[in-house]
Amino acid sequence: MPLFSAGLNHTTAAVPVRERIAYAADDLPRALADLRRETQIEEAVLLSTCNRTELYFRADSLDPAIDWLSRDRHMPRAELERCLYQKTDSDAVQHLLRVAAGLDSMVVGEAQILGQLKQAYSTALAHGHVGHGLHRLFACGFATAKRVRTDTRIGAHPVSVASIAADVARRIFSDFDEHTALLVGAGQMISLCARHLHTQGIGRIIIANRSPARALTLAQSIKGFGIGLADLDAHLSEADILIACTASPAPLVRLPAVRLALRRRKHRPMLMIDLGLPRDIDPAIDGLDDVFLYTLDDLSAESQNNRKARSEQALLAETIVAEETERFTRWLRTHEHRRWLQQLRERSDQIRRVALDQARERMARGDDPAEVLDDFSRALTNRLLHTPTQRLREAIDEARQPMIDDARRLFDLDDESHQ
């Protein structure tokens, strides 16, 4: 059964499209169950992050999965396919390995995607959507990522979306220690941002989260201040820098609240960086004169400098990915044909046992052993070659030369036998 991957990422779709296709973590089990029920897909893993949404699956064809994604995300198929990449077998393998190694990331070599990939795999596995094929594929992906980290220096100077966001803030506000950053969320991305900003010497950090206790825990680790989301608007005017990344289905930072905050700040400029998908900051805020709003797409342009700096190590990593892709593809081919190879052996052994039982019966009746063995060998040869000979005669009668040539190679024959 073929292996497929289909998806979109930061290079094929802008933020407005990616947020329409994205799945919340708690919606993945529902989505996978619907996908398999409606399409008869054998096994599947669904990965959805701020920069990509991808399906990895095994099925008879690719089309049913794309039709399902179109329906499930309420996007016309023609519109979806304009930003969708579709890969089969070895190409799908190579794509997963590149994703796991961080080679397909907005920030080349970043390690966060590997954790996200492992979580997507664990979710699919826990809900019974992973079979032997995808289990082996993802194990290969994780091992390849580890080999890339070990054998290259692509992760020697860790860079991530969070660190780029912090660098942008540091570049815009030169007197960093005199400014305040308000971080909305408390997940991995915001935690990384908080640590980067703290390390670079930001004057003050406020953490806002739906859970005030979780906000306080993160804030205490970087000597900051924690608040609940209910108090977010009240603290907006204190923020010179606002970075948001949550799982909220709707923006948490809204236009009226920002307008009020700017008046309170006497229109001192604010830098806002939206790392959420769906977006956490109302896009209309970008129209305000005193706000500089960065999205994930804007940070993608910033990451190009990182991509150039890591190009040499990336080439070494690509070589590793190519080797592991070839190794897994060989296993996949063998695994795909193992069933009928085993069937061939079982059928041949059944023929052998029948002929052997007949020979034993004759020996027990006292028939001449030499005659019995000669008849046994002839019967075994005839029965084993009956179907291949019949099919080959049909091919000769119908002048199917490719099949005739394949049979000659299969049975190691040459042209001299019929001259």
Query: β-pairing, 270-274 with 43-48?
Result: unpaired
110 is known to lie in a ligand binding site: yes
- Burial pattern 79-93, b for ≥16 Cβ within 10 A else e, equals ebeebbebbeebebb
Structure tokens at 319: 């070589």
309 is known to lie in a ligand binding site: no
49 is known to lie in a ligand binding site: yes
52 is known to lie in a ligand binding site: yes
- Burial pattern 282-300, b for ≥16 Cβ within 10 A else e, equals beebeebeebebbbbbbbb
185 is known to lie in a ligand binding site: yes
190 is known to lie in a ligand binding site: yes
**83 catalytic residue (yes or no):** no
116 is known to lie in a ligand binding site: yes
187 is known to lie in a ligand binding site: yes
Nearest to 22 by CA among 51, 46, 48, 56: 48
Q: How many Cβ atoms from other residues are within 10 Å of residue 243's Cβ?
A: 30
Nearest to 87 by CA among 177, 199, 5: 5
Q: Residues, the chain, total?
A: 419
| Complete DSSP assignment for 48-101 | E-SSEEEEEEE-S-SHHHHHHHHHHTT--HHHHHTT-EEEETHHHHHHHHHHHT
Nearest to 329 by CA among 137, 59, 103: 137
8 A C-beta contact, residue 103 and residue 321? yes
Q: Compute the distance between CA of residue 100 and CA of residue 148 in angstroms, rounded to an integer.
A: 10
Q: Compute the distance between CA of residue 260 and CA of residue 24 in angstroms, rounded to an integer.
A: 31
Nearest to 220 by CA among 254, 186, 251, 248: 186
Q: Compute the distance between CA of residue 167 and CA of residue 123 in angstroms, rounded to an integer.
A: 33
8 A C-beta contact, residue 246 and residue 280? yes
Q: Compute the distance between CA of residue 154 and CA of residue 256 in angstroms, rounded to an integer.
A: 44
> What is the Rg, in whole angstroms, of the alpha carbon atoms belonging to the chain?
31
51 is known to lie in a ligand binding site: yes
Binding site members: 49-52, 105, 110-112, 116, 185-190
Instruction: Name the residues annotated as catalytic.
Output: 50
Q: Tell me the binding residues for NADP(+).
A: 185-190
- Annotated binding-site members for substrate: 49-52, 105, 110-112, 116
